[in-house]
Amino acid sequence: MQGLMQNWPLLCHKLLDYAAENHTGREIVSRSVEGPIVRTTYGQMRQRALGVAELLDRDGFGEGQRIATLAWNTGRHLEVWYGAMGIGAIYHTLNPRLFPEQIAWIMNHAEDQALFVDLTFMPIVEKIASSVKSLKKIIVLTDSAHMPETKLANVVAYEDWLAEARGGFIWRNLDENAAAGMCYTSGTTGNPKGVVYSHRSNVLHAMIAAMPNAMGISCRDVVLPVVPMFHANAWGLGQSGPMVGAKLVMPGGKMDGASMYELLDTEKVTFTAAVPTVWLMLLQHLEETGKKLPYLKKVVIGGSACPRAVTKKFEEVYGVEVIHAWGMTEMSPLGSLCTIKPEYLDLKGEELLAVKDKQGFAPFGVEMKVTDDENVERPRDGKTFGRLKVRGPAVARAYYGGAGQDQFDEEGWFDTGDVAHLDQYGYMQITDRAKDVIKSGGEWISTIDLENLAVGHPDVAEAAVIGVHHSRWDERPLLVVVRKPGKEPTKEDLLAFMDGKVAKWWLPDDVAFVDEIPHTATGKIQKITLREQFKDFRFPNDV
Ligand code: AMP
């Protein structure tokens, strides 16, 4: 017997409809690329998104076609997402931090038909547009007054184009399993791989993300997604925000400490999310100016491991709850969040911080297990690590075009490529990327644990650990450090600081001081480049 409930497909535009009808006047505030702060509401955004849908449809774009965006987090970018999804087209976020040739490769692979681009990124488009054969139209996210000179064909100013909408458009009726969005993984090895979200997976992910055990946001929150929309969907906030009717504050292209602080303060932001490097900049700004964070309640930190020093400062100095989170582009992206279960509620001080070093537990909608190389599950003892595998309704089941099939098994598990352990309460802790873990004398050493420890030293600005060849042990850890300005910690200082906090045989065999550590386009330490940089390095104890 079938249930007798309505078939109400989970479609992304329903999120915006809901917000427009139930939270009509709630604001979306953006730091525009042109400069000024601009304000709109969910009611107005729906009208504009319907305009985008109508005009894309008029211009011949439709179901299943890829509509690329090369843009910062702004209200305009968000309404383009909804407009594209509302006709069954697929928004495709491009990461402007990649090399232009990589962007062109990705656009050609996805066969993008139209591109919405911020003024900031016009030089990139000038360089690559002619090599993207599928590209038919370029819409610059500005008005005619700010349009730059360009020799490119089929270019129009967004506001002029949008003004041509006649109104009265209605969203297309779609299958909830239809593709809605697309994002390529950062591709640290080989070519980037395309992840294709569906309407259903996006809506379910928005619910998963908003739940109290996860981000826990409501219509009383003011949400600042600092994490870019081009980095794994701004961690779902462009969908969870409208779903709960939260006020959104979009930071545009400015993510330095002072600009972040200005928005947090003037808009009375209660909830924000970004990678650790952004928060290091904000904390430095706060330290230099003596400012406080009276409105901010929660900060989600993920994308790479959150150093304990950052959690401690937010929680103990500024009274802001830190939620450490883990996820991947392939998971829409949220996989786990470190909110506190009753079992850990009584912990205080360093014991509580040690729990917050973990990436947290899976929300409903994410299944998680840790296995050895033979797919045998490892004990949930908080220390035995292995391959982290996941499945769920917002987890990829394949990559676009069939790349990387070996990461998916016949039972539907996706091998994340991360190495992790789970504890008895289900809290997961990432110990490494499978390709970064150091194999010393047959045993594994977690580079993330060592990095977290090293950045806890007051004179260290940033730290990375890589495995370097050692003739006796195969590989040993090398600690690479950027010192804080004006500080001169020595190798001995750092090793003494770390001594006693990890197993003796985990301690780095040497320390190298550098001016800068290379980062990927999504803000992660670029270990490949670092390993290349130190490929001729020899440990003093390696004779
Ligand atoms: P991306 O698809 O760019 O979001 O990258 C996903 C990868 O980032 C994961 O597979 C992890 O290796 C890493 N990552 C994400 N969040 C964390 C975290 N909180 N701690 C450690 N690594 C993380």
SS (H, E, C) 87-114: CCCEEEECCCCCCHHHHHHHHHHHCCCE
How far is it, in rounded angstroms, from Cα 399 to Cα 340?
34
Q: Does the C-beta of 198 come closer than 6 Å to ligand 1?
A: no
pTM of the model: 0.90
All domains of the chain in start order, with CATH: 13-25+39-197+230-241 (3.40.50.12780), 363-433 (2.30.38.10), 438-533 (3.30.300.30)
Of all protein residues, the one whose alpha carbon is nearest to atom 22 of ligand 1 is 304
Which pLDDT score, from 0 to 100, does residue 196 have? 98
Q: Which ranges of 59-177 does DSSP label H, i.e. alpha helix? A: 75-85, 100-110, 122-128, 158-162
Cβ contact 192:399 at 8 Å: no
Q: 3-state class of 420 per DSSP?
A: strand
**pLDDT higher than 70, residue 188:** no
* 252 CA to centre of own chain: 16
Q: 3-state class of 235 per DSSP?
A: helix
Which pLDDT score, from 0 to 100, does residue 189 have? 60
CA of 242 to the centre of ligand 1 (A): 25
Q: How do residues 122-163 score in pLDDT, each as one tens digit?
A: 999 999 999 999 999 999 999 999 999 999 999 999 999 999
Question: Residue 456's closest CA among 543, 358, 331, 350?
Answer: 350
Atom of ligand 1 minimally distant from the CA of 448: 21
Of all protein residues, the one whose alpha carbon is nearest to atom 1 of ligand 1 is 328
**pLDDT higher than 90, residue 191:** no
Q: Does the C-beta of 433 come closer than 6 Å to ligand 1?
A: yes
Q: How do residues 15-61 score in pLDDT, each as one tens digit?
A: 999 999 999 999 999 999 999 999 999 999 999 999 999 999 999 99
* 129 CA to centre of own chain: 26
Q: What is the dihedral of CA 117, 118, 124, 125, to 10 degrees?
A: 30
Q: How do residues 359-380 score in pLDDT, each as one tens digit?
A: 999 999 999 999 998 999 999 9
**What region does 249 belong to: left with phi over 0, alpha with psi -120 to 50, or beta?**
beta
- CB-CB neighbours of 151 under 10 Å: 7
Which pLDDT score, from 0 to 100, does residue 73 have? 98
Mutate to test the pocket of ligand 1, among 323, 395, 430 (most ligand atoms within 8 A of CB): 430
The tokens describing 364, both together, are 């409903």
Catalytic residues: 185, 330, 439, 444
Q: Which residues are CB-contacts of 517 (< 8 A; sequence separation ≥ 6)?
A: 462, 463, 464, 480, 482, 525, 526, 530
Query: Which residue do the tokens 């709850």 mark?
Result: 321
Question: Residue 32's closest CA among 96, 118, 97, 116?
Answer: 118
Q: 3-state class of 345 per DSSP?
A: coil
Question: Residue 272's closest CA among 217, 204, 328, 327?
Answer: 217
Q: Does the C-beta of 328 come closer than 6 Å to ligand 1?
A: yes
CA of 275 to the centre of ligand 1 (A): 10
Mutate to test the pocket of ligand 1, among 304, 437, 447, 519 (most ligand atoms within 8 A of CB): 304
Mutate to test the pocket of ligand 1, among 418, 436, 446, 520 (most ligand atoms within 8 A of CB): 418
Of all protein residues, the one whose alpha carbon is nearest to atom 20 of ligand 1 is 305
Q: Which residues are CB-contacts of 132 (< 8 A; sequence separation ≥ 6)?
A: 104, 107, 108, 112
Give mean pLDDT, residues 333-355: 97
